[in-house]
Amino acid sequence: MRHINEFLFICSEADTREELLTGFGRLLEQYNFKFFIFFKRSQDDVDDLGTPLGEKLPEGWRDYYYSRKYPLIDPTRKMLASSHRPFRWQNSVGPFKPTAYRKRIARLFQDSARYGMTDGYVFPIHGRGGLLGSVWIAGEPGDMAPSELALFDAAARATFWRLLELSQDDAAPLDMPLPPEIRLTQREMDILILLSKGMTSPEMGKELSISSHTVDWYINGIQRKLHARNRQHAIALAFRYGLIS
């Protein structure tokens, strides 16, 4: 915990992005983390996690991750869309593990381990209008005590906002309209994610082993809950409210 408290002081005193990210990297090394990435999300970022503010990733991992189309089944990305608290990678598998994806999810984690990321944590950054960004750390960590996780969350948030300041970025545009209270079922979330990838009803039905008519029924329900005019409007609202990323 001493290392985290020391970093919080360094964070407030850092004059450059390089100094800040170097300090954050040194903090992670104390807990067997080697890699990190900070994302800032805006209304224009409708096809990914957002814009990277700073990162240290394994060489070649980003290209490999996208070439394998892992974003479609990555349980950490799905959990980020609905979580307001930090979570561990391995704990994201249970709530979002459709049977059809189990082998691919297992392969995703095997591949990340080959790149030196056996496990990690995700720290959502929320504002008045929903999900504003996220901080991801990875390596070969052991179990983190709840008190350590809380301090790491504070460090991640402090670094995120300090990065924005040092990038001469204005945090105000990140504040989006408050979303209505929305409750989607897991099946609706699965369909919403596939819909955001541009899949048709027959393609989604094949992916989820249900009929295209059933897919249409779910999509109609999603549109009602989001008060969306059509499928495209539903996708735009889902991104705006942080339901998908």
Architecture of domain 186-240: Orthogonal Bundle (1.10)
The amino acid sitting at 237 is L
Whose tokens are 């059933």? That residue is: 214
Over residues 198-242, the pLDDT tens digits come to: 889 999 999 999 999 999 999 999 988 888 888 877 887 777 677
Nearest 5°: the CA angle 211, 213, 219 is 110
Instruction: Cite the residue boundaries of each domain of the chain with CATH code 3.30.450.80.
Output: 2-174
- Rounded Cα–Cα distance for residues 152 and 200 (Å): 41
CATH code given to domain 2-174: 3.30.450.80
What spatial distance separates the first Cα and last Cα of the chain, rounded to whole Å? 32
User: Which pTM value belongs to this model?
Assistant: 0.68
Over residues 26-69, the pLDDT tens digits come to: 999 999 999 999 999 865 554 468 889 999 999 999 999 999 99
- Rounded Cα–Cα distance for residues 79 and 74 (Å): 9
Instruction: Cite the residue boundaries of each domain of the chain with CATH code 1.10.10.10.
Output: 186-240
